[in-house]
């Protein structure tokens, strides 16, 4: 790819598909244009969403695109994990008349964004302050519609982004409440992954378990309303559910850090910007550190939140740089 150009960047998740025009100069993403956001449930697939973006843009689109997508990028057909979309990259490239169409796992894209992000794009949460380490492994964890995980390995000469599906490891309860939460989810799903708890929809399962323990009905309405009730502090059970959610996120983030041998942890995902002032007051930090004999090691690992509006778009665009 040439050094200076404009491309289409995309970030396709279980709830939203986001597109923008990205300008690349001398190996860096220097600008992301206005984002067009489309709910995946409202359209039939990628080609329809692309057409909406093209119409909103109002001019011919570049003939190169880099797209982050919430599923493994393997094989001839890409099936998104948390929505109905399926994509055949080779056929789609021809249908859209593109010269180049690259797909990357969505949290692989967040991993690539780290090379473009600046210090103001992070908020420090735990561990030693300061910038992310120049060398070592950085674990990325991100709750949204699902639970994304990736690793970034920085050496003296190279940066390697390692994609994975770590959000689908088994959920490990750590107290009696989480034992009951696991039992409820197992009755519903059979096997229970970490994603069933540590994700946007996971708050609903936590709320139902808390309400059942008090012989109260669970909150009605959409998940977004439940989140907002807890964030606004207008409902005691919803607030407790978010606190429990933060504790579970801290536990799994610490588990990934141990498994990866991480030098730092970065928390991303669509939920995080709404929790900036709440997460430190939940059990996140306690659960992150609470790894028995390895608690001293965990205390040396910095944990940061990404507050950049569109790390997935930025990371997707950076792969073209």
- Give the pLDDT confidence of 74-113 residue by residue, as tens digits: 999 999 988 899 999 999 999 999 999 999 999 999 999 9
Determine the pLDDT at residue 1. 44
Band of residue 226 on the pLDDT scale cut at 50, 70, 90: very high
Determine the pLDDT at residue 3. 67
Band of residue 4 on the pLDDT scale cut at 50, 70, 90: confident
Distance between CA atoms of 5 and 26, rounded to whole angstroms?
Answer: 9
pLDDT at 204 exceeding the cut of 50: yes
Band of residue 288 on the pLDDT scale cut at 50, 70, 90: very high
pLDDT digits (tens, 9 = 90+) for 136-191: 999 999 999 999 999 999 999 999 999 999 999 999 999 999 999 999 999 999 99
DSSP three-state, residue 66: strand
Beta-carbon contacts of 238 under 8 Å, excluding residues fewer than 6 positions away, are: 207, 219, 226, 227, 229, 230
Distance between CA atoms of 298 and 162, rounded to whole angstroms?
Answer: 22
How buried is 97 (Cβ within 10 angstroms: 0-12 exposed, 13-18 middle, 19+ buried)? exposed
The H or E element spanning position 108 is helix 106-113
pLDDT at 2 exceeding the cut of 60: no
Q: Could you tell me if 268 and 142 are in contact, meaning their C-beta atoms sit under 8 angstroms apart? A: yes
Q: Report residue 249 as tokens.
A: 């996120």
DSSP three-state, residue 290: coil
pLDDT at 48 exceeding the cut of 80: yes
Q: Could you tell me if 47 and 92 are in contact, meaning their C-beta atoms sit under 8 angstroms apart? A: yes
Q: What does R_g of the chain's alpha carbons equal in angstroms? A: 20
Q: What's the count of helices (H) and strands (E) in the chain, helices before strands?
A: 10, 14
DSSP, res 309:
S
Q: Report residue 78 as tokens.
A: 């890409």
Specify the residue for token string 């309860």: 173
| Mean pLDDT to the nearest integer, 210-217 | 95
Q: What is the pTM of this model?
A: 0.93
Beta-carbon contacts of 188 under 8 Å, excluding residues fewer than 6 positions away, are: none
Q: Could you tell me if 316 and 21 are in contact, meaning their C-beta atoms sit under 8 angstroms apart? A: no
Measured CA angle at 84 (ends 58, 22), to 5 deg: 35
| Mean pLDDT to the nearest integer, 180-208 | 97
Q: Could you tell me if 200 and 145 are in contact, meaning their C-beta atoms sit under 8 angstroms apart? A: yes
Q: Report residue 290 as tokens.
A: 């609470």
């Amino acid at each position: 790819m040439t050094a200076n150009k404009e491309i289409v960047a995309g970030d396709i998740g279980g709830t939203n598909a986001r597109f923008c025009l990205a300008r690349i100069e001398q190996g860096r993403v220097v600008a992301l244009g206005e984002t067009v956001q489309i709910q995946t449930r409202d359209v039939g697939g990628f080609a329809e969403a692309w057409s909406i973006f093209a119409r909103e843009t109002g001019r011919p689109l570049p003939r190169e695109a880099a797209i982050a997508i919430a599923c493994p990028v393997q094989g001839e057909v890409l099936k998104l994990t948390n929505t109905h979309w399926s994509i055949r990259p080779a056929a789609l490239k021809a249908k859209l008349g593109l010269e180049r169409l690259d797909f990357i796992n969505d949290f692989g894209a967040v991993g690539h964004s780290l090379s473009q992000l600046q210090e103001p794009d992070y908020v420090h949460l735990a561990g030693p302050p300061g910038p992310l380490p120049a060398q070592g492994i950085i674990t990325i964890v991100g709750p949204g519609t699902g639970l994304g995980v990736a690793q970034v390995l920085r050496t003296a000469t190279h940066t390697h982004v390692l994609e994975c599906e770590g959000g689908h490891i088994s959920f490990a309860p750590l107290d009696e409440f989480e034992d009951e939460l696991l039992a409820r989810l197992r009755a519903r799903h059979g096997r229970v992954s970490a994603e069933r708890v540590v994700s946007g929809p996971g708050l609903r399962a936590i709320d139902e378990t808390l309400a059942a323990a008090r012989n109260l009905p669970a909150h009605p309405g959409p998940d977004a309303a439940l989140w907002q009730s807890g964030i606004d502090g207008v409902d005691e059970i919803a607030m407790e559910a978010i606190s429990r959610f933060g504790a579970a996120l801290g536990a799994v983030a610490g588990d990934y850090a141990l498994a990866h041998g991480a030098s730092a942890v970065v928390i991303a995902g669509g939920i995080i910007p709404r929790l900036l002032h709440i997460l430190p007051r939940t059990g996140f930090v306690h659960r992150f550190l609470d790894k028995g004999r390895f608690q001293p090691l965990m205390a040396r690992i910095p944990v940061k939140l990404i507050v950049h509006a569109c790390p997935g778009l930025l990371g997707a665009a950076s792969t073209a740089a």
